[in-house]
Amino acid sequence: TNAVLQATSEAAMDRVDSDSLFAEIEAQGNIVRDAKIKDAASCATKAAIAKLLELKKEYYDKTGKEYKPRAATDTAAASPEEEIAAQIRAQENLVRRLEEEAARSNEAKVALAKLLQLKKEYKAVTGCEYNASSTVTA
């Protein structure tokens, strides 16, 4: 029974890790799109693309499947609060990762600014401050 519990626990952790990684890939994809709009040939854009490819490889290594974006119907089913909360979680993960690499980097500052903007949007939609422990995960 202990082996079954441990296997179940590990499977649940893998699911959480892959979901978190999926959200990070979505957030990084948004960063890449924004960077390409500003200056497609810049070093920052190239670094953002490299990071996105690294995350996709990590996702494949963890899940054994290629990353595929959610279908439009999947995202349309989520409420605005859930959608913004998912974006906040992904952005928080990205900010943590960037701060671990280089806390004072421009990329980390941009990611943090986007996180704060998402939290403002969440408050505008819900009327409440974003609290990770009280939000519903999709």
- 1-69 CATH fold: Helix Hairpins (1.10.287)
What's the pTM value of the predicted model, to 2 decimals?
0.48
DSSP-assigned letter for residue 125:
H
Q: Which of 19, 44, 37, 14 is nearest to 107 (CA)?
A: 44
Among 126, 110, 23, smallest CA distance to 70 is for 23
Architecture of the domain whose range is 72-138: Orthogonal Bundle (1.10)
pLDDT in tens, the chain (138 residues): 555 545 554 554 556 577 888 888 888 888 888 888 788 788 888 888 999 999 999 989 988 888 888 765 554 556 788 888 888 888 888 888 888 888 788 888 888 899 999 999 888 888 888 887 755 444
Query: Domain locations in the chain?
Result: 1-69, 72-138
Residue 105 DSSP symbol:
-
User: How many Å separate Cα 45 from the centre of its chain?
Assistant: 18
